[in-house]
Chains A and B, each alone.
Chain A
Amino acid sequence: MKLKPTSLLLTALCAGLTGGATAADLKIGVAEALTGGAAQYGVSNRNGIQLAAEEINAKGGINGSKLQLVVEDEQGKKEEAINVYKKLIFQDKVLMIIGPTLSNSMFAAGPVANSAKIVAFGTSNTANGITDVGPWVFRNSVMESDVLPVTVASAVKHYKIKQVAVIYGNDDAFTKSGYDVFKQVLAEQKIPVTTTETYVKGDVDFKAQLTKIKAGNPDAVVCSCLAEEAANIMLQARGLGLKAPFIGGNGFNSPKLFEISKLAGEGTFVGSPWSNSNPAPANKNFVTAYKQKYGSEPNQFAAQAYDAVYIAAEALKATKLSGNLDTDREALKAALPKVSINGATGPFKFRPAKTKDGKPGGWDAEQKPFIYMIQGGKFTLYTGK
């Protein structure tokens, strides 16, 4: 590691300020997709992580020790994620690892962490079964199955919905899995579905499906769609005189959608784990600091990654480090589930994952999503009537 004289001076200065504590740096591994197709998420994750680490270090670190990030590019590939994990665990000897970016990669790398007995902390893995991998796998990413029930329930209450129609893209893993969750949620909340319509990627003509939906006279249209298609669906629905509001999945979390659809999307309900406009101090601070550091608007991924570092810091604060790597990693794992913070994504704590076979699993996020209603073409936080 190269140190510039100024940073050496700074380190010396800090050491002096904290009463000459000689505590070693706390090494955190960061495995994110910094190149390749998943880089749009991975880079946001890394930005959030770096921002949080810098803030913590600027405030004097954790019990006198600085956080030291070891950042590696796992390229959004399973094989690379395993390689990066092995390097971080055995060569860099980090205390815990944040990442990888994609659920697929976590399914590959999680078992490595589990057998090496080190915490693997996912911030953007939303697939079902991630925390089934083992007790060392944690995540603060909120799943669709946590968000959609709240979205649907809020819309049902607001519009007094009795029946809905459903439309989704059936050749895309993301919209299809969103549909599966919607279907289950609608069944649980006992809301009859008038008709379920599908389309395929690249379709631009939805009029036949929407005419059918209109004939069923639904109180709302549930749409598990990507933003581009959703915009066309909304515009064509209004052109056919279908006035029911829309309820959307994570694909709707795109300002672009409502730029395109203009007022056709008015009254749409959509849920998200994070809200740009959440007025809580932790979030305001995050949004301002992020914009200042990176010159761009933060997104949900950056916010969740940012919170993950604060969660880890909270656990580290409560842990007495012995210097023995294995016992320290074990102590950190024991401390994490007790953490609860008020972060950029709101109040957060862990809950034990429900595994399918009853074996001990990891830890999922216990967090309330933010529900938005689209008003004047903008995401407006919905707080109930």
Chain B
Amino acid sequence: MLEQQLLNALTLGSVYALFALGFTLVFGVLAVINLSHGAVFMAGSYAALFLVTRFELPLWAALPGAALFSGLLGLLVDVLILKPLRARNAPHLIPMIATIGVGIILTSAAQGLFGAEIRRFPEEILPAGEFTVGEVHVRALEIAIVAIAFALMGLLLWVLRGSQTGRALRAIAESPKAAWLLGINVERLFHVTSFVAAALGGVAGVLIGLDFNAITPQMGQPILHKGIAVIILGGMGDIRGALIGGLFLGTAEVLAKGYLSSQMGDAIAFGLLFLILLLRPSGLFGRVLERKA
């Protein structure tokens, strides 16, 4: 049973990590806690559902489609909401509140368009294979989810570490003003960051939607709370932190449900989180006090 629960934890945790990655990226670069990230996550899974059911696209084509859609949504939020606020030098709480509004609008729009009831991907399009290793029952879908999540996270890490854009992004994370003085096109990279973060969030939405096969307008809310917890745990704005924090939260939640009490899953996961923060107030890879943007 432990092996099976660890597989459950790995699937859940890698999606949490993927979600938190975009979340933490926006915070690291734009210094904004973007609370519409949960709604973008939800929009991603509806976009994939729409592509699959309306245009009868196969899943492998719907996934990048959903990423593109949520990426554009994130870009739109940046251009329409965050940019004007930046231009007016708004205090950093203001963009956070504004993105709550964006989240509410997107959630209501999804509810209006698709209804409040649970929607599902048609069974035919899901990868059907499954096999058993010892005690563990593995679905091809779960392998695909973990592989896609890790591939995207690896790609992002590689871009940040190895490319010119990555260097520029890290420079902005240190100081946007200094980066601007060095000739980096800060606004453009803000847009790029918003797009990439939202696209990652959208992909996470599709993966969760596939794993549990349930898509609702409200699905962004619980994962938003978890995303906040993950990036606080990992250290705000830290990429490795989001990865490890996501896996940790997924594991804690699954093991708490499996071995302690099924109604206490969240309580135990968040309780552990609290304990860790008592010991390391700035998170695992703590930089929380360094940025005061």
Contact = CB atoms under 8 A, between A and B. Distances in A.
B214 A214 contact: no
Interface residues of B, number: 30
Interface stretch (B171-179, B199-207, B256-264, B276-284): B256-264
Given A209-B262, A214-B1, A228-B117, A204 B212 contact: yes
B213 A232 contact: yes
A99 B254 CA distance: 47
Interface string A198-228: 1110101101110110110000000000001
Contacts of B5: 208, 211-212
Given A204-B212, A241-B132, A211 B120 contact: no
Given A198-B263, A200-B263, A208-B265, A241 B137 contact: yes
Given A198-B262, A239-B139, A209 B257 contact: yes
A339 B118 CA distance: 45
Contacts of B257: 208-209, 212
Contacts of A212: 1, 5, 257-259, 262
A197 interface: yes
A215 B1 contact: yes
A240 B212 contact: no
A204 B219 contact: yes
B56 interface: no
Interface in B1-29: 1, 4-5, 8, 12
Interface in B235-280: 253-255, 257-259, 262-263, 265
Given A228-B117, A232-B213, A241-B137, A202 B218 contact: yes
Nearest to B12: A205
Contacts of B262: 197-199, 208-209, 212
A272 interface: no
B213 A235 contact: yes
A170 B120 CA distance: 24
A228 B265 contact: no
Given A198-B263, A208-B254, A208-B262, A240 B118 contact: no
Given A205-B12, A212-B258, A241-B137, A236 B263 contact: no
Q: By CB atoms of chain A within 10 A, which of B118, B130, B257 has the most?
A: B257
Q: By CB atoms of chain B within 10 A, which of A198, A235, A241, A262 has the most?
A: A241
A43 interface: no
A211 B258 contact: yes
Interface in B196-236: 211-214, 216, 218-219
Contacts of A239: 130, 137, 139, 141
A323 B30 CA distance: 85
B78 to A, nearest CB: 30
A232 B141 CA distance: 16
A260 interface: yes
B12 A170 contact: no
A62 B123 CA distance: 55
Contacts of B139: 239
B216 to A, nearest CB: 8
A382 to B, nearest CB: 26
A348 B58 CA distance: 54
A205 B218 CA distance: 14
A108 to B, nearest CB: 31
Interface in A25-50: none
Interface in A231-279: 232, 235-236, 239-241, 260, 262
A228 B12 contact: no
Contacts of B263: 170, 198-200
Contacts of B212: 204-205, 232, 236
Contacts of B130: 239, 241
A239 to B, nearest CB: 6
A152 to B, nearest CB: 22
A214 B4 contact: yes
B251 to A, nearest CB: 11
Given A205-B211, A209-B262, A228-B117, 15 more contacts: A198-B262, A199-B262, A200-B263, A202-B216, A202-B218, A204-B118, A204-B214, A205-B212, A208-B257, A208-B258, A211-B258, A214-B1, A215-B4, A235-B213, A239-B139
14 contacts: A197-B262, A199-B262, A202-B216, A204-B216, A207-B8, A207-B254, A208-B255, A209-B258, A211-B4, A211-B258, A212-B257, A214-B4, A235-B213, A260-B120
Interface of B: 1, 4-5, 8, 12, 117-118, 120, 123, 130, 132, 137, 139, 141, 211-214, 216, 218-219, 253-255, 257-259, 262-263, 265
Q: Which 7 residue pairs spanning A and B have beta carbons closest together?
A: A241-B137, A208-B257, A215-B1, A204-B214, A204-B212, A197-B262, A207-B8
